[in-house]
Amino acid sequence: MSILVAYGSKQGGTAGLAEMVADALRREGFTVEVAPASAQGRVEGYEAVIVGGALYAFRWHRDARRFIRRHTHVLCNIPTYFFSSGPLDASASERDIAPIRSVRALMDRVGARGHATFGGRLTSDARGFLAHLMAKRNAGDWRDPTHVQSWTHAIAADLRAPLRKDA
C-alpha cells in the first residue's frame, strides 16, 4: 500500500514530524512518500493520505488547508488522517488535544478517519517578528517521537483492518 504524507510548515518543525510519521509507517511495511502540501500536484494513485499542518494563531497552515480543498474529491474516497502541530509545551504528549474547529470542518469535508495534535518546535533563531518574540520565552522542541509512533501504529492497524467502522 502506498501512502502520501503531505505537510504545511513554516519553520520546518511540521516537516520533521511528517518525516517521523513516514519513517514509522515504513517500519510497519508501507511505501511512503513525503511532500510539501504546496508542491503536491496529484494524489491519485495513493491508497491513503496523511496531511499535517502547523498551527499559527489558531489557524492550520495555509498549504495544508489548500491541499484539502484542491484534492477533496480524491480524499473523500481514500483513508485520510490529519495531524496538527503544535503546542510549545508538554500538553500534547500528556493528553489528546482535539483539532481546532476549522480543521474539524476540513476533516468532515473529506471524511478523515483520525487526527492527532503533536507538540511543536520553536527555535531561538526563528524567523519573523512574532516568532522571534515568542522564542524568547517559548523556544524548545516538544515533538515527541513516542507520541508519533503510537499514532502511526494505530493508523497502520486501521489500514490493515479488513472491515472497519467509521469512528
Ligand X SMILES: Cc1cc2nc3c(=O)[nH]c(=O)nc-3n(C[C@H](O)[C@H](O)[C@H](O)COP(=O)(O)O)c2cc1C
Using CB under 6 A, list all residues that contact ligand X. Answer: 9-15, 54-58, 85-88, 120-122, 130-131, 134
Q: Are 52 and 82 in contact (CB under 8 A)?
A: yes
Q: How far is the CB of 136 from ligand X (least distance, A)?
A: 11
Q: How far is CA 76 from the centre of its chain?
A: 17
Whole-number Å distance between alpha carbons of 164 and 158: 7
Whole-number Å distance between alpha carbons of 156 and 99: 21
Q: How far is the CB of 26 from ligand X (least distance, A)?
A: 21
Closest CA to 44 of 84, 15, 81, 2: 2
The grid coordinates of residue 18 equal 511528517
Cβ distance to ligand X smaller for residue 28 or 63: 63
Q: How far is the CB of 34 from ligand X (least distance, A)?
A: 13
Cβ distance to ligand X smaller for residue 14 or 80: 14
Q: Are 85 and 66 in contact (CB under 8 A)?
A: no
Q: How far is the CB of 126 from ligand X (least distance, A)?
A: 6
For residue 31, CA distances in Å to 19, 22, 61, 132 come to 13, 9, 26, 38
Cβ distance to ligand X smaller for residue 71 or 143: 143
Q: How far is the CB of 55 from ligand X (least distance, A)?
A: 4
Cβ distance to ligand X smaller for residue 23 or 158: 23
